[in-house]
Amino acid sequence: MEDLIRSDDGEAVISEGNYKKSVTRKRFKVLQRGCRGKKALIEYASLPEDIRIRFEAKYGDPEKTMKQEELSLPYDLDAQSFFNEYILPNGGHLPELKQQEYTINARVLNALLDMQNTQKAMRRACNNNTPVIWSNVVAVSEELREVYGHTLPKNVARLRDKLRTYSKEGYACLVSGKFCNDNNLKITKEAGRLIIALRRSRTPVYTTKQLFDEYNRRAEAKGWKPLSSLSSLTQFLERPEVKPQWYDAVYGELAANRLFDRRQKTLMPSMRDSLWYGDGTKLNLFYKAYENGKLVVKTAFVYEVMDAYSETFLGFCICENENFEAQFNAFRMAIEYSRHKPYEIVTDNQGGQRSKVAQQFFASISRVTRPTAPYNASGKSIESAFGRFQHEVLSRDWRFTGGNISAKEAWKINRDFIKANKDSLYTYDELVAAYTEARKVWNALPHYKFETAHADLYLASINPEAVPVSELDMVELFWIQTDKPSKFTSDGITIQFQKRKYTYEVLTEDGMPDMEWRSQNTGREFYSRFDPQSMDRVLLYTKNAMGYRFETVAYPYITVHRNIQEQKDGDMAFIRQADQANKEERVRRHLENYALEMEHGVAPEQNGLHTPSLMTVSSGEYERLADTIVIQPTTEPIEIGEYTKQLSNIDYDPLSALNRL
């Protein structure tokens, strides 16, 4: 009864209520009722078929179990371990069913050998030389077959031969020689090396049939047994331990790496600005251009910067090819959008990134900068995101170029349609505008994982370790400083960037040339720092032993039309004002220099000579301008303006006037 209704070792065969009803209805025979410590016993043979089926499903066939107890086989852990670890010629392991089969066969053979050895020992003990009675051994083998289901030979001679081989060779003789068709692959180690070498050959390149013929030709010359079929050759080349030895030569190292190298399983960032990817690729839109007067269809290149967490496109630069300038502009746009520095930047180590300038730049905008191997799409999720961007956004435009050749689907395009509508293709400027709009569409699309728009996901996230970027940081990060100083002359200071010259000068608050600053710095050399995207001003620095020191800001040199016809409002007034400032500066410089000569007794008038007058400055202008200039010599404090004012009431004679100072 207990075996039928117990459920602590699995589902009960029948419930206790069902058992009581079956007893009442006499569905089976009760041999002993349960009472006073005795267990209720039921005759197994009287059980109905449905109960017996459930019983055997749970406990097994009791008759077979009893027989196994009568014909018990000792376990052989060594045999079990041997077949579990056995390596086949193709490098694989035995299937589990074969492992169990061979282990049972080994246990049966162990029992039969014990039986054989016992018979021999008993005969020797009785001085009996009669042979072993093999009919008894075979009879026991068949009983064990019925109980354990072993697969040893039924024939007496073959069983005796298997016992003899087993006693000499051990467990290995039980593995079938036909396993994995090993008997058909008569390829030795030396022959295998020749086949692999021929498969790797590039001069010439062999087809499978040609390789088969060439191997058999060489095998015959070497006295080896030739291959009998192409399938045996193909099967050998496809072995897991053989395939890596030729695959790279046939399909390339990158393909071999993708097939055989272990891939890292990584988790994506959980916040914005933790990881930015930068990568360059073809901009998959056609545009039109004119070369030598002929309309041609062209494509451009784009460098993109993407936040790995949200897959938001942060910055880009359209260019002819990937270089540091494109990377610089794209990352600048990304930081302007983010207003934070990324914690980590990952790029493909191309486009001049190994230069010292590039390394310093990336180090200044992030804590960690590391490269991934080129062409390793699985190492940069931006490759996957850009593929989806092409498929979901760019492919809507009839000017779409189709997918990249490395994509799983190289989306087909109607080239005849493109050719017939070349005149309607984007111009370059229209291409830039269309791509800018396409990026906005992508950033507004829902993220494939979070189902929130890329841009919204990015803006809603907070990275406590991302460093905010100020306006001063923007200058430090993205403004370029000249390697060599330039001299500030009467024509201003000129710098050259991208084969173009830019001239600047220092202005006062009201936008006029700063004559006072010019008087102190004309002829001095300055290093310039400027914004390459605007060039609307430069910061001037001097350099000493302590490093660079900021001096002032210079603005584009003011220019006006020489001809009156093209002058704008205010140009003539500026010309007059600038001319007047020049005259004032000349008079001031003349008076200061002459005062210095008089102070030290080297003036021409102090030595019987005459100081020449200023050219292009009339006596009236000199007197008027001198009134506004104050000179303070170090020996006798005197105001030149006051003195020249007195002289202005007499005849204009600057030499005699100055001689009286």
pLDDT at 649 over 80: no
pLDDT score for 181? 52
Domain termination residue (choose one: 417, 433, 468): 468
Q: Could you tell me the pLDDT band of residue 380, with boundaries at 50, 70 and 90?
A: low
Instruction: Identify the weakest region by mean pLDDT among 218-227, 354-363, 624-633.
Output: 624-633
The predicted model gives 28-44 an average pLDDT of 83
Domain check: are 363 and 222 in the same one?
A: no
Residues 66-89 pLDDT 10s: 655 556 788 899 999 999 988 776
Crossing angle of the two packed helices 62-70 and 49-59, in degrees rounded to 10: 40
d(CA 66, CA 452): 67
Q: Could you tell me the pLDDT band of residue 127, with boundaries at 50, 70 and 90?
A: low
pLDDT score for 443? 96
Instruction: Identify the weakest region by mean pLDDT among 198-202, 344-348, 519-523, 612-616.
Output: 612-616
- SS3 sequence of 233-270: HHHHHCCCCCHHHCHHHHHCHHHHHHHHCCCCCCCCCC
Instruction: Identify the weakest region by mean pLDDT among 138-147, 165-174, 378-387.
Output: 378-387
Domain termination residue (choose one: 10, 29, 60): 60
Query: 370 forms bridges with which residues in the sheet?
Result: 346
Residues 495-554 pLDDT 10s: 998 889 999 999 998 888 998 899 889 999 999 999 888 888 999 999 988 889 999 999
The predicted model gives 337-353 an average pLDDT of 84
Domain check: are 368 and 418 in the same one?
A: yes
Position 269 in a domain: no
Residues near 321 by Cβ (< 8 Å), separated by ≥ 6?
280, 301, 351
Domain check: are 347 and 200 in the same one?
A: no
SS3 of residue 143 by DSSP: helix
pTM over 0.85: no
pLDDT score for 193? 92
Distance from CA of residue 454 to its chain's centroid?
A: 19
Position 95 in a domain: yes
pLDDT score for 657? 38
Domain check: are 359 and 423 in the same one?
A: yes
pLDDT at 183 over 50: no
d(CA 661, CA 650): 16
Domain termination residue (choose one: 260, 295, 323): 260
Domain check: are 319 and 457 in the same one?
A: yes
SS3 of residue 345 by DSSP: strand
pLDDT at 350 over 80: no
Per the structure block, which two tokens stand in for 177?
Answer: 């020689």
Position 231 in a domain: yes
pLDDT at 307 over 90: yes
Whole-number percent of the chain with pLDDT over 70: 86
Query: 495 forms bridges with which residues in the sheet?
Result: 502
Residues 549-607 pLDDT 10s: 999 999 999 888 888 888 888 888 888 888 877 777 878 888 888 788 888 888 888 88
- pLDDT, mean over the chain: 83
d(CA 390, CA 379): 19
pLDDT score for 214? 94
Token pair 């502009």: residue: 329
SS3 of residue 142 by DSSP: helix
Which ranges of 480-570 does DSSP label H, i.e. alpha helix?
Answer: 515-521
- Looking at per-residue confidence, does 189 or 352 come out higher? 189
pLDDT at 643 over 70: no
Residues near 531 by Cβ (< 8 Å), separated by ≥ 6?
475, 478, 479, 480, 537
Residues near 7 by Cβ (< 8 Å), separated by ≥ 6?
none
Residues 369-378 pLDDT 10s: 888 765 655 5
- Cβ atoms < 10 Å from Cβ of 456: 16
Domain check: are 496 and 355 in the same one?
A: no
Task: State the CATH number of the domain containing residue 366.
Answer: 3.30.420.10
Q: Could you tell me the pLDDT band of residue 200, with boundaries at 50, 70 and 90?
A: very high
Q: Could you tell me the pLDDT band of residue 210, with boundaries at 50, 70 and 90?
A: very high
pLDDT score for 434? 95
Would you say how long the chain is, in residues?
661
pLDDT at 316 over 90: yes
- Cβ atoms < 10 Å from Cβ of 632: 11
Measure Cα distances from 230 to 126, 182, 184, 216 in Å: 63, 15, 12, 11
Domain check: are 428 and 376 in the same one?
A: yes
Domain check: are 498 and 611 in the same one?
A: no
Q: Could you tell me the pLDDT band of residue 436, with boundaries at 50, 70 and 90?
A: very high
Domain check: are 639 and 544 in the same one?
A: no
Instruction: Identify the weakest region by mean pLDDT among 141-150, 174-183, 434-443, 475-484.
Output: 174-183
Q: Could you tell me the pLDDT band of residue 91, with boundaries at 50, 70 and 90?
A: low
Position 128 in a domain: yes
Domain check: are 315 and 416 in the same one?
A: yes
The predicted model gives 326-333 an average pLDDT of 91
> What are the φ/ψ torsions at residue 594 (nearest 5 degrees)?
-70, -35
Instruction: Identify the weakest region by mean pLDDT among 34-43, 156-165, 194-203.
Output: 34-43
Residues 248-291 pLDDT 10s: 999 988 888 888 888 777 788 999 999 999 988 889 999 999 88
pLDDT score for 552? 93
Considering 1-15, 241-255, 600-614, the range whose residues carry the highest mean pLDDT is: 241-255
Whole-number percent of the chain with pLDDT over 90: 32
Position 88 in a domain: yes
pLDDT score for 652? 41
Torsion over CA: 265, 270, 274, 279 (sign):
positive
Position 324 in a domain: yes
| Beta strands in 488-625, from DSSP E residues, in sequence order | 493-497, 500-505, 525-530, 538-544, 547-556
Which stretch of DSSP H or E encloses residue 21?
helix 16-24
pLDDT at 65 over 70: no
Position 223 in a domain: yes
Position 248 in a domain: yes
Residue range(s) defining the domain that contains residue 510: 479-559
Domain check: are 249 and 126 in the same one?
A: no
Q: What is the CA radius of gyration of the chain?
A: 49
Which ranges of 60-200 does DSSP label H, i.e. alpha helix?
Answer: 62-70, 77-84, 96-125, 134-148, 156-169, 189-200
Number of domains present in the structure of the chain:
6
Domain check: are 509 and 542 in the same one?
A: yes
